Amino acid sequence: MVTLKEAITKSDLKTFVKFPFSLYKDSPYWVPPIISDEVQTFDKTVNPAFKNADAWFFLAYKDGVLAGRIVAIINWVEVKEQQVAKMRFGWFDFIDDTEVSEALLNKVIELGKRHRLAFVEGPVGFTNLDKAGVLTEGFNHIGSMVTWYNHAYYVKHYERLGFKKEKGYVENKFPKSNADPALFTKMNNLIKKRYKLREINFTKTKEVLSMADQMFDLFNETYAKLPTFIPISDIQKEYFKKKYLSLINPEYIKFIADEQNKLIAFAIVMPSFSKALQKAKGKLFPFGFYHLLKAKKYNKDVYFYLIGIHPNYQHKGVTAIIFNEYYKTFSEKNIEICYRTPELEENLAIRQMWKHFNPVIYKRRATYRKDLG
Fold equal for 2-171 and 175-362? yes
pLDDT (tens digit per residue) in 347-373: 888 899 999 999 999 999 999 999 998
Query: Is it the case that residue 215 has pLDDT exceeding 80?
Result: yes
Q: What is the pLDDT of residue 2?
A: 97
Q: Where are the domains of the chain?
A: 2-171, 175-362
Sequence length of the chain is: 373
pLDDT (tens digit per residue) in 11-58: 999 999 999 999 999 999 999 999 999 999 999 999 999 999 999 999
* Domain range 175-362, CATH class: alpha beta
CATH of 2-171, one of 3.60.20.10, 1.20.120.10, 3.40.630.30, 3.30.70.260: 3.40.630.30
What is the pTM assigned to this prediction?
0.94
Query: Is it the case that residue 140 has pLDDT exceeding 90?
Result: yes
Query: Is it the case that residue 222 has pLDDT exceeding 70?
Result: yes
pLDDT (tens digit per residue) in 262-320: 999 999 999 999 999 999 999 999 999 999 999 999 999 999 999 999 999 999 999 99
Tell me the percentage of the chain whose pLDDT exceeds 70.
Answer: 99
Q: What is the pLDDT of residue 229?
A: 79
Query: Is it the case that residue 227 has pLDDT exceeding 80?
Result: no
Q: What is the pLDDT of residue 305?
A: 93
